Structure 1
């Protein structure tokens, strides 16, 4: 079964393998398959589910809401986000203004069919809205009982520090950050992780398998497999294209004997690697088929010894991105839909 970790400096626990429905529900797979994967996740012991209003332009939240109908609400941890344009994408249908946050939480609760979410997250930093306005809105949502905890996604170390200070002033906790993190994308290690450890903030990491590249299914010098994420614009093909270089793919192939020696599949090794970082509370995994969930959850509780970690790091040393400056390039410098 899946193990649990505390989220930040709080008493709130999440399953260290968390189900995310970014590019599956409402777009990549039909609703029946989506519901089946959620039920497979529940059967495997996953109780934490991450979504966002922007995924499939609100459709992903609707599908997740249908999938969790009939489940005991208190036994689930439901996470969603606000920031990116949704709906008709008008001037106030985006960003972290008080208006959009208040409209956002009410819309998410309705689509998910719940009275509250466990974690409400700022999906990026909004350069066009005063952070004081944003954090006051989050504080009010917590006091209204519509969200129990507040998190963010892809904030820099300085942004986390500023947000945490305002949260403390407003008497609520900023408990999490949701960045991209994998053995190939390590940019948070330089500043974001040390700052988060100091502030009592955990990472909920997305793309621990580097968009599937760390699964080993993409081979150097070979065309990408038909039906894979790399061939489907709806499944994040634009995100994976930068990794489909022969030098990266050749380095990833060196992980196969390491995974075999550890008694793991390549996806399990990738997920287990991010979970070795004590600041990581959860690794987000998605699935288009139930059997993928059954494989991924076996990474929970895995302890990789020092020699295995060293072998992984050595294999990927020349291709892993570690430049902490990349954390400053994620949030749009203007309103996203403007």
Structure 2
């Protein structure tokens, strides 16, 4: 079964393997298959589910709501997000304005079939809206009982500090950040993680397997497998391109004996690696087939010894991206 961790400086616990439906529901797989994977996640002990209104232009939330119908709501932790465009993409259909936040939370609750979400996240930082306006709207959402906690995604250390201070002034809790993080993409370690530890903010990390590259299925000098994420634009193919270099794939191949020595599969090693960071509360995993989850959840509770961690660093150090400057390039300077 899956272990639990506290999220930030709160009493709220989440399953350290959290199911995410970014590129699967209402996009990569049919609804029946999507619902089957959610039910499999529940059977395996996963109770935390992450989505966003923008995924499949609201479709992913609807599928998740259908999949969770009939489950005991109190036994679930449901997260969603606001920022990216939805609907016809009009001038107020994106960002973190008060208008968009209130319209988005109401739409999300309807699609998810719930009265509240446990965690409501700013999907990016909005440079076009005063942060005071955003956090006042978040505070009102919390006070209305539509969300219990507030989180953000891909915010810089400075943005986290500013948001945390405003949340405290308004009497609400900013408890999480959702960045990309893997053994190949470590840019949060330099500034974001230290600031988060100081503020009592946890990381819910996405792409712990570096878009599947750390599974070992992509090989240097060979074409990408047919039907893989690297060939499917709807599945985030653009995100994986940075890792599809022969030097990166050769470094990843050197992890196979490391995983074997630890008694783990390559995906398990990748997920377990991010969970060794004490500031990480959950690793987001997705699945297009139920059986994929059986492998992923076995990373929960794994403790990697010092020699295994050193071997991973030795294999990946030449190709891992560590520059904190990359955290400043994620949020668009203007709304999409």
| TM bracket, shorter-chain basis | over 0.9
2:69 & 2:113 partners in 1: Cα distance? 8
2:251 & 2:192 partners in 1: Cα distance? 26
1:194 & 1:41 partners in 2: Cα distance? 32
Q: Spell out the pairing of 1:290-301 with structure 2 (5 A cutoff).
A: 290-301=290-301
Q: Spell out the pairing of 1:1-338 with structure 2 (5 A cutoff).
A: 1-336=1-336
1:310 & 1:135 partners in 2: Cα distance? 41
1:230 & 1:160 partners in 2: Cα distance? 32
2:255 & 2:306 partners in 1: Cα distance? 15
Q: CA RMSD in A?
A: 0.3
Aligned length: 336
1:120 deviates by 0.1
1:21 & 1:201 partners in 2: Cα distance? 23
Please give the secondary structure, in 2, of the residue aligned with 1:259: helix
Please give the secondary structure, in 2, of the residue aligned with 1:204: strand
TM-score by length of 1: 0.99
1:166 & 1:253 partners in 2: Cα distance? 45
Please give the secondary structure, in 2, of the residue aligned with 1:282: strand
Q: Deviations over 1:79-130 (max 9, x none)?
A: 0000000001100110000000000000000000000000000000000000
2:175 & 2:236 partners in 1: Cα distance? 28
Give unpaired runs (5+ residues) of structure 1. Answer: none
1:335 deviates by 1.3
Give unpaired runs (5+ residues) of structure 2. Answer: none
1:75 & 1:314 partners in 2: Cα distance? 41
Q: Deviations over 1:124-177 (max 9, x none)?
A: 000000000000000000000000000000000000000000000000110000
2:145 & 2:101 partners in 1: Cα distance? 14
1:289 & 1:313 partners in 2: Cα distance? 31
2:152 & 2:140 partners in 1: Cα distance? 16
Please give the secondary structure, in 2, of the residue aligned with 1:299: coil
1:241 deviates by 1.0
1:236 & 1:163 partners in 2: Cα distance? 29
Runs of 4+ in 1 over 4 A off after TM superposition: none
TM-score by length of 2: 1.00
